Copies of this chain bind each other. A is one copy, B any other.
Amino acid sequence: MKYEDFLVTSLGKGGVISPLKKNQRADSPVYKFVNDSERILYDVSLENFNRCKESGEIPVSFEKAGPRETIYFEPAKTKVGIITCGGLCPGLNNVIRSLVNELYYRYGISRILGIKYGFEGLIPKYNHSVIELTTTMVSNIHLTGGTFLGSSRGDQDVEKMVDTLEIMNINLLFCIGGDGTLRGAHDIHKEIEKRKIKICVAGIPKTIDNDIDLIQKSFGFETAFSIANDIIRNAHNEAEGAFNGIALIKLMGRDSGFIAASAALSIQEVNFVLIPEITFDLYGQRGFLRVLKKRLEERHHAVIVVAEGAGQEFFEAAVNDKDASGNIRHKDIGVYLKDKISEEYKNKNFPHSIKYIDPSYIIRSAPANANDSKFCNLLAQNAVHAALAGKTDFVVGFWNNHFTLMPIPMVVAKRKKIDVDGELWWNVLEATGQPITMKNP
């Protein structure tokens, strides 16, 4: 990673005085607007400071988000589109609501269109209607989970989508979605560049798994592991309620175990956390089934949390088995584990009782908790500030407790994963007491 990689594209120098500036009264405190040159360090260790100082290297850093004194788009002539893509995630409605409120109340923009059902809504053949969003219309949407705009998975024809944007005279497009969506947004930006038109594309990263790279936390993630925390608490009752009772909970996490790990760290009642980052054996001396049996013999109950992407090595690679978003469709490790445990212990005549819980949709469809709500509101406000200032092909991130702006390609280059030699996973091992490895030598 180099400093240069993280310079955000801009449509041009803004010449319009921001309404935020104009609304400041003469006698009011002077708010410090943010400069384009303000940046947040990626690495906050003193060691890195010393290293960069010695080598003369400019340290990797991210542009600071926040309101600019002058902006690029003239509010009265600006038209906005908002789109939500992919699976549900707590906070989507908070983001939509805050985008609309910020655009309307702070920047005076009243032409705001809600595109329905994700990228499908930009493709004529689906014939989805468009919603003219008002602050009244969105005033209570954050009380419920889901997305007010509807969503869909999968790519759509980029040229057709840009045609629609042109026909609708949209100047700013806010795309709320995950990896795939952000890649789609980047492609839209490329097409816009090719056509030499002035449309800004802003990405608002959405990943319930919290696995978008270079982003400290994504909205909905905390709500997700908080609900998981409560579900595991009760699942623990199921485990203890039977002799050699096993509660097996499958949580989200296609490629990373952040939700599983965080839930285990908050509830502190989980005995095994299985994540995509670490392969394990079922059978043999060190295999999971034997380790689990030992735990049951000692304590007569066990709580297991498995991330949905764990143990995929047990299934034959099925390269073409992808969902509409292009994600590899994972075999169900939860059901697989449940069956294998039952089979093995039945064969061994080992009395046990297993309860399998898959709360995925219950979690995804919940409304955001208070902290996520606050985060969504600020995230949306910063997306609006940046887009109005003419930034494009960017995502709003969060790093070292500051909102940041980054080029889309940098955050979708790879997925964030748990460092299995690092602090987070070490804490999980401490909390669960599970073996460091369940691989046979």
Contacts and interface: CB of A to CB of B under 8 A. Distances in A.
B366 A234 contact: yes
Given A66-B423, A234-B366, A45 B49 contact: no
Given A29-B420, A38-B45, A229-B373, A151 B242 contact: yes
A237 B143 contact: no
A24 B421 CA distance: 12
A105 B374 contact: no
Contacts of A128: 243
A59 B49 contact: yes
Nearest to A286: B27
A147 B241 contact: yes
Interface string A45-69: 1110100110000110100101100
A236 B361 CA distance: 11
A44 interface: yes
Contacts of A423: 66
Interface string A222-256: 10011001110111111011110101000000000
Interface string A404-441: 00000000000000001111001100110100110001
Contacts of A237: 88, 144-147, 365
A242 B365 CA distance: 12
Contacts of A24: 436
A427 B381 contact: yes
Interface of A: 24-25, 27-32, 38-41, 44-47, 49, 52-53, 58-59, 61, 64, 66-67, 88, 97-98, 101-102, 105-106, 116-117, 120, 126, 128, 140, 142-147, 150-152, 216, 222, 225-226, 229-231, 233-238, 240-243, 245, 247, 262-263, 265-268, 355-359, 361-362, 364-367, 369-371, 373-374, 377-378, 381, 400-402, 420-423, 426-427, 430-431, 433, 436-437, 441
Given A38-B45, A150-B240, 18 more contacts: A30-B421, A32-B422, A38-B46, A39-B46, A41-B46, A97-B268, A105-B433, A144-B236, A216-B401, A222-B370, A226-B369, A234-B367, A241-B365, A247-B361, A268-B377, A357-B361, A357-B362, A359-B362
28 contacts: A25-B436, A27-B441, A28-B437, A38-B46, A39-B45, A40-B45, A41-B49, A53-B53, A97-B268, A144-B236, A144-B237, A147-B237, A150-B240, A150-B242, A151-B241, A216-B401, A226-B369, A234-B361, A237-B365, A247-B361, A265-B374, A265-B378, A266-B370, A266-B374, A266-B377, A267-B373, A357-B362, A377-B431
Task: In the A-B complex, list the 3 residue pairs whose CB atoms are closest, starting with the nearest.
Answer: A146-B237, A226-B370, A229-B370
